[in-house]
Structure 1
Amino acid sequence: MSLAPTVSPDHLLDTPLDDLLTEIGVEIVDSTITDAGFFGAVVQRKTGELLLAMPAGRSDLEHDTVARYLLAQVFDVDLPKLPPPLVTAES
């Protein structure tokens, strides 16, 4: 899923997450999924608005890293793949 705006790798990784989310119009919401293997998901509403559904109670580092990686996938930002067993899927 490739969407505007264009986001550079440096901007994606260096901008404070709250500022980045505001700039690209993405809202973070708590996910109700409690499975330990679930790290987050990007959901597109019928209105086109993007939501980043993240599990509550995870470390700040995990939250920030996964959010940025998922956003990289959505906005086609070229970043190295995460190591196994972390994988992304599109449905």
Structure 2
Amino acid sequence: MSLALPISPDHLLATPLPQLLAETCAEVIDAGIPDSGFFGAVVQHKNGDVLLAMPSDRSELEHDTMARYLLAQVFGVDLPKLAVPFVTTEL
């Protein structure tokens, strides 16, 4: 599920999140899912826009970390897998 937008791991991890979202045409919305085991989902539109659906009641650190990890999944950035209990599934 990756686009041809080249993003290095260093850029993905060091760029301020608002700038990274703008560069990747990504928008964060409230997922509206209260399950404590749900950390987010990503949808890639045919036009290249990316939608990150994430719980709004999480810490800033968790929000930032998961947004970057989801963007890495979409753009094929090679990052280590997250530790248990985090699992990603591609549909």
Unaligned runs of 5+ in 1: none
- Paired with 1:46 and 1:12, the residues of 2 have a C-alpha distance of 22
TM-aligned CA distance change 1:35 to 1:62, over 3 Å: same
User: Could you tell me the TM-score, scaled by structure 1's length?
Assistant: 0.93
Structure 1 residue aligned with 2:84 = 84
Unaligned runs of 5+ in 2: none
| Seq. identity, % | 67
Which SS does the other structure have where 2:90 is aligned? coil
User: Could you tell me the TM-score, scaled by structure 2's length?
Assistant: 0.93
Structure 2 residue aligned with 1:53 = 53
- Paired with 1:17 and 1:39, the residues of 2 have a C-alpha distance of 17
How many equivalent pairs are there? 91
Runs (4 or more) in structure 1 with deviation over 6 Å come to none
What pairs up with 1:28-47 in 2 under 5 angstroms? 28-45=28-45, 47=47
